[in-house]
Amino acid sequence: MVRFILSKLLFLIPTFLGITIIAFGLVRILPGDPVLLMAGERGVTPERHAELTAQLGYDKSLPMQYLDFLGRLLQGDFGNSLVTKKPVLDEFLALFPATLELGLCAIIIATLIGVPVGVLAAIKRGSWFDQISMTTALVGFSMPIFWWGLLLIIFFSGMLGWTPVSGRISLMYYFPNATGFMLIDSLLSGQEGAFGSAVSHLILPSIVLATIPLAVIARQTRSAMLEVMGEDYVRTARAKGMPQRRVIGVHALRNAMIPVVTTIGLQIGVLMAGAILTETIFSWPGIGKWMIDSISRRDYPVVQSGLLLIAALVMMVNLLVDLTYGLINPRIRVK
Amino acid sequence: MKLLSHSLLAVSALAISAFAAEAKTFVYCSEASPEGFDPAPYTAGGTFDASAHPVYNRLTEFKKGTTEVEPGLAESWEVSEDGTEYTFKLRQGVKFHSNDSFTPTRDFNADDVIFSFQRQGQADHPWHQYIPGVSYEYYTSMSMPELVKSIEKIDDYTVKITLNSPEAPFLANIAMPFASIVSKEYADTLEAAGTMEDLNNAPIGTGPFKFVAYQKDAVIRYQKNADYWGTAPLIDDLVFAITPDAAVRLQKLKAGECHLMPYPAPADIEAIRADGNLKLDEQAGLNVGYLAYNTTVAPFDNPKVRKALNMAINKQAIVDAVFQGAAEPAKNPIPPTMWSYNDAIADDPYDPEAAKAMLAEEGVSDLAMQIWAMPVQRPYMPNARRTAELMQEDLSKVGVNVEIISYEWGEYLAKSMESGREGAVILGWTGDNGDPDNFLQVLLSCDSAGEGGANRAFWCNEEFSQLLKDAKVTADPAERTALYEQAQVIFKDQAPWYTIAHSTQYVPMAANVSGFVMSPLGDFTFETVDIAE
């Protein structure tokens, strides 16, 4: 098992290097530069432009800039935002818990609903339940998130008044960010009603963010179940006279879970993409909104280091997924 | 950790006010996160609304709701005969705010004024680069480095600023956010503690509200400054709930999650007007949207050709379709709310037939041109693409074939300033300080027609530029007005731009909000607001 983990970790190094190049390159491929965007309609003289560019270190050649970036990364320095002038890592750590909290809620909703729906649809293949749930999943998968979020806000918050419109907690409550996770902080604060307020603020954004992963998980579970249920060992189990619940729950589901776990792992990337829009609509102070603001301002250090940190996280999650296979299926770790 | 302790103290402070039964909390659904809380290094209005306006004061201030300059931290001033020496008498007994790391031991005085200007102007000042990479773009772009010769302390409550040349808009310039007065004593404390960056994180000023805490991209909290030297605010707590999307802001306003919001979507205006729980303030904006020809390239170097093109475009149609009526058709480069606006000038009539004849007279036929449409929405231009399409259609009727061009925003700004640029550019301007010089000099003078300027017509008319220069060194407002009025006559005659519109600014708020005053400069300030029970 240790060798298995080590070999996986070793593989991360070249991947990580590749990501630094992509993160560094992507933001520089975009036209427009930060100095011009700061100046706006006002314009900036060529001398002042050169001066500011040099001050930021962007007058050097691209390979030199990249080596600078890499060198500083190795010392744990992710650079400072051009806009707020604060260390990128500090900003990331301040905003990340909000995204993580939202992402976790979304993936839990998606899994808790998606897996049972997929299993049921597979068992009752061709039934009305199968058809309705899979059609709904297709619609969910193609849902334009911005429109969907706004629709839910207008309906549930605007017309029915059931949920708050946006934000993480009612402005009435105010306590220090002990952990950055609003659910935990609101409990720690001991203020009456704070936890409930935090939960109510999480509902709509979690649903919006969960929509696409939920659809994917439900469809993936259904097809994995169908495949497994045609296997010999399932037929054998049935032939032995094993109860249906045990056949499905133990023999089929456990084997069908491997591709499903992979899918759930891969949804982390989808979640990050969805977080950009979801956080913007719901004024959710997380890293999705932070990245999109930084891209539009060409805040190079934030974009490149932010991308890198997000990629590192996705890699960690994928590693965890790989390790989970080992738990589900011992043959994988032996190999 | 530092921030945490800041906020811990703030909690106790706020808890008191929260539990005091009568505490009034006003929530503003702001649009964007502030870049920082030191107003000097930044240029965005959203940043100033969160820093310069609630927390700080300046020597001079804009009188609420106007662009008139009135005394601020300077009680009075004298200007020398030649207009180069300004002697400011400072207000006494003004207290700076305090927070958990700083309690002022003295009142505001001349040292604070000198510190606030010198840190921006002197490259070797210890606070010039207090955060690596910081720069003072407003100070630079208002030509303060060339303008200010010296700044001296005469005594604790007298400061003399000497200019290299007379500059009539100077008093308005120093009422702008970049000239906010910061506490030198606080700066010294931070320097000693090695936490200089806190000048940008935990601001200390003399303004109507004290900064309490900021959670990035989420919430900013302020508390009423009970020791405020001016009229104390009517609300106890001020909260900015940062909400970037206009549709969501409106939903929050409707749901009672905030009291007031900026920048509603034009399409929502009618619904807001119809909503009994809301009210809507409106005001002509201090802005202009325009199409700038390249006046150095044939045939656009011929004023008659430009005039003919201007007559071929239906302005009212653009105002109706693009601005949804929320704008005034523009005939001058400055908006009608600005002093010296020349209302005697008649706009070029929309007359395609006459335009066609004029083009033929100038020997222009089969003209093909580009119109550049900016990719972003700005307060002066909700949809440049649509505007360009309407222009394209109108111009095709007089035989001009228009190709619409667009670039990414940063690229657009850069390429549109390249000399020899092909095509006419849609762009605009929002005033900084309410002075006509801030429009005409920046956008249309010979000085700004070169590289790095903002004169995108590259239009250099000596007579026009001379009038601006004369106006700049004239102290008498009546004389200045006459000069600017004359300059607008030349502008209209020479037609370097097609002036499009001055857009209206709207501020929706809950019906129980009173006392909000719209600023022609687009600032959002809350010391006069109140909430009815």
Cβ neighbours of A146 (radius 10 Å): 15
Please report the residues numbered 219 through 238 in chain B whose beta carbons come closer than 8 angstroms to any beta carbon of chain A: 219, 221
CB contact under 8 A, B454 and A158: no
Average pLDDT over residues A74-92: 90
Interface test with B, best of A37, A44, A53 (most B CBs within 10 A): A44
Please report the residues numbered 351 through 380 in chain B whose beta carbons come closer than 8 angstroms to any beta carbon of chain A: none
CB contact under 8 A, B135 and A167: no
HSE-up of residue B151 (Cα within 13 Å, Cβ side): 18
Residue A312 has what pLDDT? 85
Q: Which of B43, B251, B452 sits opposite A40 (nearest CB)?
A: B43
Residue A12 has pLDDT above 70, yes or no: yes
Mean per-residue pLDDT of chain A: 87
Average pLDDT over residues B194-210: 95
Tell me: the pLDDT tens digits for B121-168? 998 999 998 987 788 888 887 889 989 999 999 999 999 999 999 998
Name the helix (H) or strand (E) containing B485.
helix B477-494
Average pLDDT over residues B342-358: 95
Cβ-Cβ contacts under 8 Å, A33 against chain B:
410, 414
Per the model's pLDDT, the better-predicted residue between A324 and B270 turns out to be B270
- Tokens for A135? 């059609």
Banded model confidence at residue A322, pLDDT cuts 50, 70, 90: confident
Residue A264 has what pLDDT? 86
Residue A218 has what pLDDT? 94
Q: Which of A49, A154, A177 sits opposite B251 (nearest CB)?
A: A154
Residue B17 has pLDDT above 50, yes or no: no
CB contact under 8 A, A280 and B244: yes
Q: Closest Cα to residue A41, out of B459, B71, B180, B292?
A: B292
Say which residues have a Cβ less than 8 Å from residue B499's Cβ, sequence separation at least 6: B288, B290, B330, B331, B332, B333
Residue B207 has what pLDDT? 97
Rounded Cα–Cα distance for residues B93 and B77 (Å): 18
Q: Closest Cα to residue B190, out of B133, B135, B139, B131?
A: B131
Tell me: the pLDDT tens digits for A157-173? 999 999 999 999 998 88
Residue B447 has pLDDT above 90, yes or no: no
Q: Count how many residues are written for chain A.
A: 335
CB contact under 8 A, A177 and B244: no
Per the model's pLDDT, the better-predicted residue between B386 and B419 turns out to be B386
Radius of gyration of chain A (CA): 24
Per the model's pLDDT, the better-predicted residue between A267 and B443 turns out to be B443
Q: Is the ipTM of this complex over 0.90?
A: no
Interface test with B, best of A41, A80, A89 (most B CBs within 10 A): A41
Tell me: the pLDDT tens digits for B501-519? 999 999 999 999 999 999 9
Cβ-Cβ contacts under 8 Å, A154 against chain B:
251
Banded model confidence at residue A37, pLDDT cuts 50, 70, 90: confident
CB contact under 8 A, B243 and A283: yes
Residue B146 forms contact with A (CB below 8 Å): no
Residue A328 has pLDDT above 80, yes or no: no
Average pLDDT over residues A284-292: 90
Residue B12 has pLDDT above 70, yes or no: no
Q: Count how many residues are written for chain B.
A: 533
Integer angstrom CA distances of residue B181 from A160, A266, B57: 48, 52, 6
Residue B13 has pLDDT above 60, yes or no: no
Residue B204 has pLDDT above 80, yes or no: yes
Residue B223 has what pLDDT? 96
Range name among A43-47, A303-307, A324-328, B396-400 with the lowest pLDDT average = A324-328
Residue A18 has pLDDT above 80, yes or no: yes
Percent of chain B beyond pLDDT 70? Answer: 96
Residue B22 has what pLDDT? 65
Banded model confidence at residue A229, pLDDT cuts 50, 70, 90: confident
Residue B79 has pLDDT above 50, yes or no: yes
Residue B14 has what pLDDT? 43
Banded model confidence at residue A195, pLDDT cuts 50, 70, 90: very high
At residue B60's C-alpha, the angle toward residues B59 and B64, to 5°, is: 135
Residue B1 has what pLDDT? 36
Interface test with B, best of A49, A52, A84 (most B CBs within 10 A): A84
Banded model confidence at residue A282, pLDDT cuts 50, 70, 90: very high
Cβ-Cβ contacts under 8 Å, B275 against chain A:
none
Q: Taking a C-beta distance cutoff of 8 angstroms, is the pair B219, B206 a contact? A: no
Per the model's pLDDT, the better-predicted residue between A4 and B65 turns out to be B65
Q: What is the dihedral of CA A97, A102, A106, A109, to 10 degrees?
A: 100
Q: What is the dihedral of CA B492, B495, B497, B500, to 10 degrees?
A: 50
Please classify residue B365 by burial: count the beta carbons closer than 10 Å to its beta carbon, then call 0-12 exposed, 13-18 middle and 19+ buried. exposed
Secondary structure of residue B292 in the 3-state scheme: strand
Please report the residues numbered 143 through 172 in chain A whose beta carbons come closer than 8 angstroms to any beta carbon of chain B: 150, 153-154, 157-158, 161, 164-168, 171-172
Residue A333 has what pLDDT? 57
Residue B343 forms contact with A (CB below 8 Å): no
Mean per-residue pLDDT of chain B: 91
Average pLDDT over residues B217-221: 94
Range name among A5-14, B249-258, B478-487 with the lowest pLDDT average = A5-14
Residue B2 has what pLDDT? 40
Say which residues have a Cβ less than 8 Å from residue B153's Cβ, sequence separation at least 6: B110, B111, B114, B159
Q: Taking a C-beta distance cutoff of 8 angstroms, is the pair B409, A32 a contact? A: yes
Residue A79 forms contact with B (CB below 8 Å): no
Residue A91 forms contact with B (CB below 8 Å): yes
Interface test with B, best of A166, A189, A200 (most B CBs within 10 A): A166
Cβ-Cβ contacts under 8 Å, A162 against chain B:
none
Instruction: Measure B401 CA to nearest chain A CA, in Å.
Output: 27
DSSP 8-state code for residue B98:
-
At residue B507's C-alpha, the angle toward residues B506 and B513, to 5°, is: 150
Banded model confidence at residue A16, pLDDT cuts 50, 70, 90: confident
Residue A269 has what pLDDT? 78
Per the model's pLDDT, the better-predicted residue between B350 and B382 turns out to be B350
Q: Taking a C-beta distance cutoff of 8 angstroms, is the pair B98, B204 a contact? A: yes
DSSP 8-state code for residue B66:
S
Banded model confidence at residue B4, pLDDT cuts 50, 70, 90: very low
Dmax (CA) for chain A in angstroms is: 85
Residue B6 has pLDDT above 50, yes or no: no
Average pLDDT over residues A24-42: 80
